[in-house]
Each structure stands twice: as structure tokens, then as C-alpha cells.
Structure 1
Amino acid sequence: LDTVLAANMILNMDLSTFLLLPVHLLVWLYSVVSFLPWYFLTGAQEKKALAKRMKAKSIKGQAEGPYRSLDHFDSLARVDFPGKDTLDKLFDHAVQRFGKAQCLGTRTVLSEENETQPSGKVFKKVLILGDYKWVTYEELDIEVNLFGSGLAAVGQQPKNTIAIFCETRAEWMITAQSCFRRNFPLVTFYATLGEDAVAFGLNECEVTHLVTSVVLLETKLKSILPQIPKLRHIIYVDNKSISTAGYPETVQIHSMQYIKELGAKPENCEQIVRPIPSDLAVIMYTSGSTGRPKGVIIIHSNLISGMTGQCERIPDLGPKDTYIAYLPLAHVLELTAEISCVTYGCKIGYSSPQTLSDQSTKIKKGSKGDCSELRPTLMAAVPEIMDRINKNVMSKVQEMNCVQRTLFKLAYDYKLEQIKQGYDAPLCNLLFKKVRALLGGNVRMMLSGGAPLSPATQRFMNICFCCPVGQGYGLTETCGAGTITEVADYSTGRVGAPLICCEVKLRDWVEGGYTKLDKPHPRGEILIGGPNVALGYYRNESSNSGDFFLDENGQRWFCTGDVGEMHPDGCLQIVDRKKDLVKLQAGEYVSLGKVESALKNCALIDNICAYANSDQNYVISFVVPNQKKLTALANQKSIKGTWEEICTHPFMEVEVLREIKEVATSIKLQRFEIPVKVHLSPEPWTPETGLVTDAFKLKRKELKNHYLHDIERMYGRK
């Protein structure tokens, strides 16, 4: 009977499955033969024990906390290196330890060309990028000294603010280290921040000196300079000359090279005024998802303690590591990551989202992207970028022939099962070599922050890039520090235990239905306390009184507005956001963030914003569709036209809604949470459009204003 059944099974198999039988047999044999030696030789048992261990617990034994890491339970960590309690001391320490080692690297643009797209739009693409050119720690120290002396020579005073409005590049870090050394508090702005927001921040901080790039000077700053009466000096970082025609006479414009030449003159080598831990280091303007930007007041000791906590979660951080820097340096995640890398002797290679990989928009086909050239070992990314990588790779998989696709799925599913159990699949890793090559093939750890990372995307990165993804949770107001998952933790959907520099507690939010008595785990608004918590918002007492407070022990706390759930092992999971909660007409509460996170799993969707009016009884949505998938669907339905015409075709809205409902039903969203109507946007949402922040968080107010006509249409008013 068994023989007959087996014969019937073989007869019913398609050819590809039949051909893969030897592969299945080989994998099974490999697992049997190699598992025990691998298990004991790689320390798998110890790693699994680390993953399962208790990581944090309540210091008072109460469900709401405060929860503190068991690795530093008796007190909160404030410094990583004894006595190095300011940012300038950390840098001096790094120069002494790693003087002749490479520190900052930049690729030179050898040539450019314009490329016209089928739509007629012209994009400037980099034709050829050169090799990375490196500055050593000792050379960087000299640059920092010269630039700091030059700034002092043109009137910059200790404890007076100086602003930087510039893209991520080596000159940004040179400026920052120069300011930290001479106690010039640094005011930071995202390069994509709007002109009005930049003018507001510069005036609020009464800035007299500003460091920027030629592009930002000519495209954004020039028009608003008359609105900034106290600004006297602008320093541009590019190695070129520009015309000063059309600029206010009250403003002097200098090149960075000129300022360094000033700093080299003997008469300008005056005594340096060094900071103390309580001195102001940075006023960091957040792009914010609502309203005017807020300047977060961060002192030296805040950043030092925050980085102490972060670095403890990155095993073996040191001179063997290479970090690729492309996220905005005006974001606390990138700033603390780069300062930490410098502190530990890592190399930092600069990049941009447009030149990151061989397939990036500004890399000419056939040329090497920055990852291929640099081969980084460490990388930070926001979930939006990881989601894009996931969808692009899976789209390529669908284009493979049947056998290749089946092999990929076999390896993917096998490794997925191994990872879920806390193991690895070294043989399968060979099949993912080409995928790993997208990021240089050498990444040993990725850090995700800025927004929740979906479990599916986290697993994809674990499997295809063969490295752990440390998902972190923190805010500008906590210097980016809060929680980070440990490398050994193979769970998904969580952001890890509190770092050794801070503690976390939960506060009941009864209106939202979250309390410390919830089962199976306590839930509530997340509060973060510790020496990493900033002093507040610059000249914004109303927000300070509501968002920051001191406890009975004098410790500062920040009320995040995020809702968390604390697991028994002391790890946190983000489950909601207070500001994302909308009450519908019938009384149901809808978490817009929860809906968006769930529906991003829809193959037709690249990005989505859920929206609801309290005087309506249903949710609507704006969607940036996946161009490749939607175009293929349009071709199947014989719908022709430009990309814009496809997106505005009523039938395509119906199809996207149908898939949204299928996905929503499969993941058990409530009926009232599922969008009833949809608008398809042909233009992606980028920081440049002003519809998302630099961390790709949705700007709900701007999105509402942008799609006001469509909101009225979908709610039946037009």
C-alpha cells in the first residue's frame, strides 16, 4: 500500500517538484549529519539560553515598572570610559588610541551625466564614483582644531549657538567635533526641512553662524536670509567658489577651506574653552509629524549616557568594523551611531540613499554603489528602507524561472524554521550570497530604528542578509536610547529590554483601553527615565510641563506618547500610539498606526496613510502603490495609459481595495478598522515632498492638507 501511495504521489508531482526531490533529500541528510557538530561547536546552546534569559525586571516588583536591565540593575550607567564624560574627551580618547587608523571616508564624483526617463523627466545620475578616500584619526584631529580655531576667529563664542543645515557627509562630523571641542552648542536641522521651519529655528536660537552646503545655500537659504536678522556668517563646506551676488550685505559668506586657513594662523590659536558634562551640546530640531519643529535641548552628559547604553548592545564593536553612513546626521540615531563608531575606532564611509547600492537611482547601470565599494560590517536603517529592499528582492524572485524560484523558497522556508528555533542554516546561506551582495556581502549586524519594523521584514533581513537585526526604540528626547534587542534574541515584533542607561515604566491610558492589569501582559503609555533624557524643548514651556517631569529622586522622565506591552522576560513591544487614535462616530476607537502597519503587508502597497474623521463612521486611506505590481495588474485587466492614468483609474482603486480587505481579513483587523475607500497616489512620499519625516514617519497634518479634496470626495461631500 505504501508503495502504491508513493507511486501516486510521484505521478501527481509537477516536473520541478520531482527534480527537487534529490535537493530535499540532500538538505535532510545535511541536517542529520551536521546538526550535532554545528550545535556544540558554535555555542548554539549558550546562544539559545541567552535568548530565553530574563533581560530586565521591575525594580519595585510592580507590573507597571520601572523596569531596568539585569546587566546593570543596581544603578544606571552614565559613562562607558571612566572620566570621559564630555564629547570632546571621547574624541580625544579615540585619537590617542587609533591615531593612524582610517576614520572618515568619502567617494569622489569623477563625472556625471543626465539621463532622460521614459516619462520625459530628466534625472542627474552619477556616471562614475571613485574609490573611498580616507582621513585618519590624527588627520581628523588636525581638521577639527583648524576649523574650530577658524570659527573662533570669525566671532563664534563659547556657549553661543552655531547651526548646521547640511547633508550627511564627512564635513558634518568635522563641524560637530569642532563645536564639541570648543563648547559651541550645535543647532541641527534636517537637510529636507522646509524653509519656513529652518528660518523659525535659526531665529528662535538667535544663530549668528551657520554651516551649510552650496546646494542648500542656493536652493533653500538664499530666499529666507532677509527673515533671519541676527545671522552674520555662512560657511559652506564644498570645495568650490560661489558668487555672493544677491545675498544680504549683513551676511558674510566663507568657504570651509578659508575658515581652516584662518584657524592655522598663529594669532588665532587661542586658549580653548572646554565643555563640562552639564553644558549644552546640541539643540536638535525634529522634523516632527505635526506643527512647528521643536528644538530638543541635549547636554553632553545626555549623549554620553545614551551612547553608553547603545554600545553595550553591539557586541565586539571596534576597529575591525566599517559603518556606512547615509541617514540624516541631524537625526539622533545617526548622530549617536557615528560618534559611537569614532569612539570605538571604526571606519565610517559616507553614502546617500541615492548611491547606496548598485541599483540606486544615482548610480549608472554597471557601476558600483557605495555598499559594494565599502563592504560595511555595520549598518543602520529605518524600516521604510528595509521594506523597500524586501519588496524589491521578492519581486526579483517572482521573475525567476520555476526551478530557481522553488529552490529559493525551499531555502527560505528551511532557514525560517531554523531561525524560529534559534538556530542557523549555513548551507542555505550560500544561496543568499547574491542578495547579501546588495549591501556589500559583509554586514554582521543591522540596527533598525525610527518606526516599528514588521516581523515579516525582520525575518527577511535575518534570512537573506544572514545577520541579526537589532530593533531599537528611542526618541530625540531620550538621545535615541531606550531599548534595543540583543543579538541572541531571535523573537520578532519586540524592541528589546531597557538599555543599561535608562529605565522604562508603563502608565495607564484608560481612554485607549491600556492598563497595568491587562492580560496576558501589562500595557500602557511608555515613560523613559534616566541620565539620557534631554532637558526639554527650547523655549517651549507648555510642552515641557506636559512631556517631561522629575520624580521624587530627581530623575528626569519623558512621556513618549507610545503605548507598550511588557513581556515576562523584560522586553518591550510597541502596540499603539496615543496620537494615532481616532474615535469614530459610532464610538469605536481606531488606531491608525496599527491599521497602516498591518496593511503594509499588501503586495500592491508601498506606503499607506489611514485617515478617519470623528464625525464619520468609516476609515479611508491614501496609498502609494507598488508601480511594478499595479502596472502588471493593469496589463492583465487591459487598462492602458501613463502611470498617473493607471493610478486614477476607478477600477484600479477597486482592485487595491479588494486586496486591502483580503489582507485585513487574514490578519483579523476589526471591520471598522478596514478602509472603505482609497486614493492612489502616483507620486511617492519622500522627505523632499514634505509628506514624511526624514525617518519616513507620516506627517498626518501635511498629508491631510495635501489630499483634502480626495478626503471630501471619499466622504461624499464632493
Structure 2
Amino acid sequence: MNPYFVGFLVPVAVSLLLHKRRKAERKRGVQVEVGGEPGYAVRNYRFEQPVETHWEGVSTLAELFERSCKEYVYMPLLGTRKLISRETESAPGGRSFEKLHLGEYEWKCYAEAFKSVCNFSSGLIRLGHQKNERVAIFAETRAEWQVALQACFRQNITVVTIYASLGEEALCHSLNETEVTTVICGQKELKKLIDISGQLDTVTRVVYINEEGISDEVSLARNSTSWIIESFDEVGRLGTEAPVEANMPLPSDVAVIMYTSGSTGLPKGVMMTHCNVLATLSAVMTIVPVLGSKDIYLAYLPLAHILELAAEALMAAVGASIGYGSPLTLTDTSSKIKKGTLGDASALKPTLMTAVPAILDRVRDGVRKKVDGTGGAAKKLFDIGYNRRLAAINGSWLGAWGLEKLLWDTLVFGKVRAILGGKIRFVLSGGAPLSGDTQRFINICLGAPIGQGYGLTETCAGGTFSEYDDTSVGRVGAPLPCSYIKLIDWPEGGYLTTDSPMPRGEIVIGGPNVTKGYFKNEAKTNEVYKDDEKGMRWFYSGDIGRFHPDGCLEIIDRKKDIVKLQHGEYVSLGKVEAALIVSPYVENIMVHADPFHNYCVALVVAAHNELENWASQQGIKYSDFSDLCQKQEAVKEVLGSIAKAGKQARLEKFEIPAKIKLIPEPWTPESGLVTAALKLKREVIRKTYENDLAQLYA
């Protein structure tokens, strides 16, 4: 048979099959009758009842970890890169930056990790930690964090998790409210603790993780506080010398009090039991294909975030390897990586990773900037390859299939995949909705599906999850097998379960993954948690969603983010921000709507390189980036760009900001303007820029 005819026939056949499959779209979620408030409820199509545990005889996280360590004895579990040197590099303008020279990953196998856990667990008791007292882990994501967590579980010690970027007020609140007696921390975190030592009511012991240069902080802590100060290694040695029998928890015991990152006001402590977290892990086991000991997971998100904590617990459960990194050393070009040194992804070559949308947006923008900066034939080649693959994913027989796909992967996308090590087979995105544009871009460039999940700290990250073979964008999948998802009417916002063509309403999540509530905050707990007549616990999310005919959920709004303008139009701030952030000039954006006016405005964190490149092309003179952001030509250019993005997203005219203020400084967790998960702290930003916002409405 003529090979050209075959080359034509195969794509056509595939295209027809895909089209037929889409017409007869299979159900991923099915409607179910549930108790509680009336609504439209859906369950996972494979499980009639919510799953509680995937592992026979395992009902707690402590049991799950011990089981894995006995099954995967000599397999590598915890990997850390050796620090070879720190160097300071000077930049124009007198600023200096720390650069790290990192070596290869050094590993602890499952047996060694279990021994470390048992020793540290015993050491905590020998150090004086009492039954019913709580431990706080206040550190960056690293192997010691995981060891400390599992050690606490073996003694049925509730762990209080605190973001390393948390401010002083929120830090004091979290430690005092939970009456923590022992804190495990790193060098930067020890500095913060010393600064607020006079405001801490119950802390008596501090265990510091051994780091280069920490001796000054240790000496200061010993001289200025009454705390017992001991190193992480020393606590492990105490346990080695005098082992203590394990005090294993019950499924209903609180494993973690996880403090939210506080996008509104002081953080709230969510009480998660062992069975809550185990339900989520068990559900995800049924969704991600062939998880196992051949997988390598890159850990770099905060372990104080439920997405990362659950992901690492799942990796350990299946015998995978966990290599630790950080957002500042992730790739070969990351800000803290010394030139010529491999980034974490290149050194580890992971097969799995989690990411929040803000991280994936940065990867997309970084690739785009590099391609656009190269220009010429290389840019044309990338664009052609991308559009050919996009056509194929969308089901067109004219797209790149088979050998042509392999050709584009080799010529173009292989270089992009090398950024994250070249072996990624699955990416989990959670924490916030991911734009369809970014999802498609990452999917094509990495050649791996992105599983979008939807869940909250209050549901142990459980809620929905898109399946491996679901190539749709903009949705967050069907209910996880541990959860029922119910939509209830919100008449004030105009969202009803009787809406056509899809039922819409506030998202309520029920199942064994729904947590006990907020620590010492009964009023707030009673406001958003409800138990129905059948004993099912439900959490009212405040998010607005709609169900597609196949049972998959799409997040479309947020109750708290809706503002009514002067003439009665409603503006969903989050929806508008998600549409406008695709502008190449936008690093971050907060839309603001004043109910006493008929238009909205925005604070735009300007994308440094893009705006400077435009200014250079236009011949605009400026002294520094702050000066450029004040120039009317720059403001006009960015305003035009976001207006274009708004029109492409089919926003209404009143939804597109009429005026903007360009912000030269990035919003980081350290600045206190975004959370550790990079979500906007609206009230903090409004207060910080209240004069600028007032001027926009003047």
C-alpha cells in the first residue's frame, strides 16, 4: 500500500474515532441521591459509596508509612542535594544575589527513613515532649520535615503546620492558639521565633534543622530565651540511645492542624484526622495510572499546604522516590542556581510533580519569552509545531499524529521538556483554577497530561480530579471516589441547579475526607460545615460551579469575589483576573470594583522583561523600572493589552478595567501580599495600595 495514502488515512481514521467518541461521551460522574440541603449531587461513576481506605488493614497515616517501609525496604525514598558552596554575585545597581552550587541527590532508602522516624519519635519524648502536647513544624519543604511529621504520627502527636513565609502576627496567633510546646524549624524560621519569643505563651522546646551558618541563631536563642534548644540530629541520637515504644493513633485522632495561608484575615487551623487524609490518598490511587516504585517525585511546594503533604504521603505509600528542591532552584536558570549548575529538575529527572497554576503560568511565560526572544526560524518552527499538535489534540485529522508528532517532539518540544528533566509523565495542578491556555501549552510542550484537581484544606484536598485520558480544558474533573459533590442554589448570584444547559450553584463537598472543622472556632465551623440526617459531613466551599453532561465540574465563580457596580452589574473579580493575566505584560493582577462607581480598575504587577523590551523598541527613555511604570505610554500600552485579552475572553465592557496602576515590585509571600500558594490577599493589597486605588477613581 502506498505509504502516502497510509499517512493520510491514519489521521483521518483517528479523527473520526475521536469525533465519534466525543459524541458518545462517557459518563465520568453520575447523579446520586444524598441527604442534607436539596441540590444537584454527583458521585464518581465507579464507586457507589465514598472510599475510605485503599489498603487492607490500614486506617491511619502512621500504619500506611510503616507498611511502605517494610515493603520497599531498600528502595530510595528521601533525596536531598548536597550543598557544595554558596556564592554572592553582584548585579548592576549595587544589588547582590546568593547563588548555590548544588551537587547530586543523596538518598535515604525506606528502611533508613523508617529508622530515622523511629529515632526522632523516641527523641522527642526523651527531650520532654508530653502526651497531648502539640508539635509545630515551621520550616521549608525538606526531608527532615517529612521525617518529623511521620515521627509525630508514631507517638500520636498532633502536628501544627505553619507556612515558612507567615508573618509575625499570624505566626504568634497559630502557635498560641494551638498551645504548641515544641517547634521544629530551620535557620530563617529560628530567627523569626527569636524575634517574637516574648509573645509566645507555651513554647518550651525548639528543635533546629542543621544548616550551614545556623550557629549564630542557636547561640542567640540560648542566651535570650528560656527554651530548650536542640538540633534535629541530636534529638535523633537521644532516641537511638533510649528507644520509646510507639503510641499509634486511632483513625479518628487529629493528625494535623493545618493553618490556612490566610488570604482573608488571620489564618484558621483546620483539624484533619488520619482517616480524613487517608480517604483522599485512597481516592487518588484509583485515578492516576500505575503509580509505583519506578516513579520519582519532585517535591518543592510548601509541605504546610495540603496538596504537597498529601502528594508526598501518596508517593511514600506506593514506593516512589521523593527528591526535594525549591522554587528558587527548580531549573537550570532559577534565580538561586549558580551558572553551570544543574537545577533540581535536571538533576532529579522526575516522572511526577505537583504545581499550582501560578507556577505553570510562569513556566509557560518563560518558554514563550525564550521563543519570542530567539525569533526568526526557531520561533516559526515552534509556532508551527505547537499549532500542529494543538490541532491533533483538538481532534483534527489535519493535526500532527504518529511520526510527525515524534518529529516535533524531537525537533522542538524535547528542549522544553529538558527544562523539567525530560521524563515528566504526569503533572497535578491544584490550589486554584488553571487557565485552558496554560493547560494546553504545558500539555503540548511537556507531552504529559495535566490532572486538574479541585479541593480545599477543609476537604484534605479531596473533591474532584480530572482523569488521565480527559483532554478537555477549563474543567476540574469528576468527583473523586472519596467525595460527593453537590451544587445548591444561590439565588442572590443568579446561580440555580435548574439552570440550562447545565446545573449551576455553590459547591458543597461531602465524604470521609471532610475535616472536623476549625480549631477553637466553633462559630465559623458551624457556618460552613453541616452534618446531614444520614451522618454525611458536608463543607460549603463558597465556590460556584457547574456540572457538564459527563459529570465533570467546572469552577465558574466565587461568592466572596463578586461585587455589584453602581448600575447593578455584577463583576466576578477572580474570573476577570484569570482572563487578563494572559497578557504578556502582566506578572500579576488584582481587579478592584467600587460599588459606588460604574467601572472597575486594576493593580497590575508589570512583567519586567516584556515591558522593558517594548520600551526599548519604542525608544522610550527611563531611569529605572519604577520610572518606566509611571510613564503614560507604558500604562496605555498595558491597558490596551489587557483590554484585548478581556475581549478575547468575551468579558463584558464593564468587567474590563477602565484604569490601571502599574506596580514595579513583584508580589511575593515574603511581601505579605500573596499567600504561600500565591493567592492574592485582597484586603492586604487594598490597604497597601489604598491611595493608588482612590486615585484611580478620582
Provide TM-score, normalisation by structure 2: 0.94
Question: Matched residues, percent identical?
Answer: 44
Distance in 1 separating the partners of 2:602 and 2:13: 52
1:613 deviation in Å?
1.6
Question: 1:417 maps to what in 2?
Answer: 391
Report the counterpart of residue 426 of structure 1 in structure 2: 406
Distance across 2 between alignment mates of 1:417 and 1:46:
13
Match of 1:264 among 240, 243, 252: 240
Equivalent of 1:194 in 157, 163, 167: 167
Match of 1:16 in 2: none
| Contact 2:40 2:488 (8 Å CA) reproduced | no
Q: CA deviation at 1:406?
A: 1.8
Residue identity opposite 2:254 in structure 1: L
Aligned counterpart, 1:180: 153
Counterpart for residue 15 of structure 1: none
Q: Deviations over 1:644-677 (max 9, x none)?
A: 1101212211221122222222322111111011
Between 1:658-667 and 1:565-574, the stretch displaced more is: 658-667
Rounded to whole Å, the distance in 1 between the matches of 2:148 and 2:21 is 44
Structure 1 position 76, deviation (Å) = 0.8
Separation (CA, whole Å) in 1 of partners of 2:96 and 2:630? 24
Distance 1:71 1:391 in 2: 38
Of residues 186-195 and 397-406 in structure 1, the stretch that sits farther from structure 2 once superposed is 397-406
Residues 450-495 of structure 1: per-residue CA shift (max 9 Å, x gap):
1110001000011110000001100000000111100100100000
Q: CA deviation at 1:120?
A: 2.1
The residue matched to 1:644 in structure 2 has which SS? helix
Return the match for 1:484 from 441, 465, 469: 465
Give the 5 Å matches for 1:247-262: 247-262=223-238
Conserved in 2, the CA contact under 8 Å of 1:107 and 1:133? yes
Question: Distance between the aligned counterparts of 1:49 and 1:668, measured in 2?
Answer: 25
Q: What code does the residue aligned with 2:407 have?
A: L
2:629 aligned residue: 647
Q: Following the alignment from structure 2 to structure 1, what is the Cα–Cα distance between the partners of residues 6 and 653?
A: 47
Give the CA deviation at 1:49: 7.7
CA-CA distance at 1:271 after TM superposition = 2.6
2:670 corresponding residue in structure 1:
688
Q: CA deviation at 1:685?
A: 0.9
Cα deviation code 1:296-330 (max 9, x no counterpart): 00010000001111222111000000000000000
Distance 1:603 1:504, change over 3 A: same
CA contact (8 A) 1:87 1:181 kept: no
8 Å contact from structure 2 (residues 187, 211) kept in 1: no
Q: Is 2:142 the counterpart of 1:161?
A: no
Q: Is the 8 A contact 2:122 2:245 kept in 1?
A: no
* Matched residue, 1:348: 322
Letter in 2 for 1:156: H
CA distance in 1, matches of 2:673, 2:474: 26
Distance 1:676 1:196 in 2: 36
Tell me what 1:630 maps to: 611
Confirm whether residue 376 of structure 1 aligns to residue 328 of structure 2: no
- Counterpart CA distance in 2 for 1:229 and 1:482 is 37
Give yes or no for the alignment of 1:292 onto 2:266.
yes
1:517 corresponds, among 495, 498, 507, to 498
The DSSP-based 3-state class of the residue aligned with 2:382 is helix
Q: 1:221 aligns with which of 164, 172, 193?
A: 193
Asked whether the equivalents of residues 261 and 677 of structure 2 are also in contact (C-alpha less than 8 Å), the reply is no
| Equivalent runs, 1:50-129 vs 2, <5 Å | 52-60=25-33, 64-73=39-48, 75-126=49-100, 128-129=101-102
The superposition leaves residues 238-288 of structure 1 with CA deviations (integer Å, 9 ceiling, x where unpaired) of: 15644433554421111011111111123xx23321101001100000112
Q: Secondary structure at the match of 1:125?
A: strand
- Tell me how far apart the structure 2 counterparts of residues 594 and 435 of structure 1 sit (CA, whole Å): 29
Distance 1:231 1:210 in 2: 7
- Give the letter aligned to residue 245 of structure 1: L
TM-score relative to the length of structure 1: 0.92
Residue 580 of structure 1 is aligned with which of 540, 561, 568? Answer: 561
Cα distance change on mapping 1:271 and 1:412 into 2, 3 Å: same
Structure-1 separation of matches of 2:8 and 2:340:
42
Q: Classify the secondary structure of the residue corresponding to 1:282.
A: strand
Asked if the contact 1:226/1:248 (under 8 Å) is kept, the reply is: no
Q: Distance in 1 between matches of 2:636 and 2:6?
A: 48
Which stretch shows the higher mean deviation, 653-662 or 411-420?
A: 653-662
Amino acid at match of 1:147: F
- Does 1:143 pair with 2:143? no
Q: Provide Cα deviations, 1:410-459, integer angstroms capped at 9, x if missing partner.
A: 11111001111297733322221000000000000000001110001000
- 1:501 maps to 482
> Per-residue deviation at 1:639?
1.7
* CA pair 469-138 structure 1, distance change in 2 beyond 3 A: same
C-alpha separation in 2, matches of 1:463 and 1:410: 12
Cα distance in 2 between the residues matched to 1:132 and 1:237: 19
CA gap of 1:647–1:58, structure 2 versus 1, over 3 A, is same
Structure-2 change in CA distance of 1:639 and 1:113 (3 Å) = same
Residue matched to 2:279: 305
Distance in 2 (CA, whole Å) between partners of 1:713 and 1:627 is 24
- Residues 46 and 481 of structure 1, relative CA distance in 2, 3 Å threshold: farther
Query: Aligned to 2:526, which of 533, 545, 559?
Result: 545
One-letter amino acid of the structure 2 residue matched with residue 70 of structure 1: Y
Partner SS for 1:511: helix
What corresponds to 2:176 in structure 1? Answer: 203
From 281, 305, 308, the equivalent of 1:334 is 308
1:223 and 1:408, CA in 2 relative to 1: closer, same or farther beyond 3 A? same
Q: Among residues 536, 541, 555, which one is paired with 2:517 in the alignment?
A: 536
Q: 1:163–1:210: 8 Å Cα contact kept in structure 2? A: yes
C-alpha separation between the residues in 1 aligned to 2:517 and 2:575? 29
Could you list the per-position Cα deviations for residues 101-153 of structure 1 after superposition, in whole angstroms to 9, with x for gaps in the alignment? 10000001101111112232111111x21110000000001100110001011
CA distance in 2, matches of 1:527, 1:695: 22
CA distance in 2: counterparts of 1:401 and 1:150, whole angstroms: 59
2:697 maps to what in 1?
Answer: 715
CA 1:361–1:609 in 2, change beyond 3 Å: closer, same or farther?
Answer: same
Aligned to 2:661: 679
1: CA distance, partners of 2:211 / 2:19: 53
> Tell me, what secondary structure is at the counterpart of 2:40?
coil
Please say if residues 47 and 488 of structure 1, whose CA atoms lie closer than 8 Å, have aligned partners that are also in contact: no
Q: Which amino acid aligns with 2:406?
A: P
Q: Any stretches of 5+ residues in structure 2 without a counterpart? A: none
Give deviations 1:335-375, integer Å, cap 9, x for gaps. 00001000100000000000000010011122210100100
In angstroms, what is the RMSD of aligned CA positions? 2.1
Greater displacement, 286-295 / 150-159: 150-159
Instruction: Report the secondary structure of 2:150's partner residue.
Output: helix
Kindly indicate whether residue 219 of structure 2 is the aligned counterpart of residue 244 of structure 1: yes
